[in-house]
Amino acid sequence: MKATLFDKFLLLLVLLLLLAFAGVLACFALGLFLFPAAAVLLEMVEQQLGALNFQIILGAAALLVVLIALRLFVGFYGKRRDAKPRTAPVTAATIATTDFGVTEISLAAIDAMVQRHCRANNKIRETESVIAGKEGGIHIGLKLVLLNDANVPDTTAELQKSLKEYIESLTGILVHDISILIVSQPPAHK
């Protein structure tokens, strides 16, 4: 949950109240001032504990409250080292940037082109593809089921070359790499 400006204000207010409370405890511990209403209660506690023990306990409580307030402040307002900036997933690749604007193509449209190219190959039985945007281009991942008589090294090398040329010629987008995974034939449907 992202903190709103109101949440930040409330936390700052609570932290300031905690620091004020710690200041009051420290003043009581040092004997600088006593409120008349609290004087009776504090004197009773002081008689039970002894003057030195009472001052040590109040001083430790004040220090603990200050440390808690500082930890909350640093934890909430401090810069997070491990937080990575959130970026939106890449859904399009840039074809061209001109004086008039930007031309982009969706990764889904590129995926349709890849599927069409793979279906046109008579050695490929089934295909699944994943397109990922990369800096200055795209990456294509393919999962293929080949026909039984297809030569795997020749078919995949030919497909990588022809698919790269096909996509680059149609879109003008650089294809960084094409990864292919050959899987076994799926079970026959009844």
In a domain, 157, yes or no: yes
Mean pLDDT of all residues in 70-89? 66
Ranked by mean pLDDT, which of 12-21, 75-84, 164-173 comes out on top? 164-173
Q: Is the pLDDT at 138 greater than 80, yes or no?
A: yes
pTM > 0.85: yes or no = no
61 and 124 share one domain: no
In a domain, 38, yes or no: yes
pLDDT one-digit tens code per residue, 93-110: 877 788 888 888 888 999
14 and 72 share one domain: yes
Higher pLDDT, 24 or 111: 111
Ranked by mean pLDDT, which of 11-25, 67-81, 96-110, 115-129 comes out on top? 115-129
Q: Is the pLDDT at 189 greater than 80, yes or no?
A: no
28 and 72 share one domain: yes
Q: What is the pLDDT of residue 190?
A: 42
CATH code of the domain in which 154 resides? 3.30.300.20
In a domain, 82, yes or no: no
The per-residue pLDDT of the chain, averaged, comes to 80
175 and 110 share one domain: yes
Ranked by mean pLDDT, which of 6-15, 68-77, 131-140 comes out on top? 131-140
71 and 125 share one domain: no
Count up the domains in the chain and report the number. Answer: 2
96 and 73 share one domain: no
The domain of 171 spans 92-182
41 and 110 share one domain: no
106-124 CB burial, b ≥16 within 10 A, e <16: ebeebbebbeebbeebebb
Q: Note whether 179 and 141 are within 8 A (CB).
A: yes
101 and 163 share one domain: yes
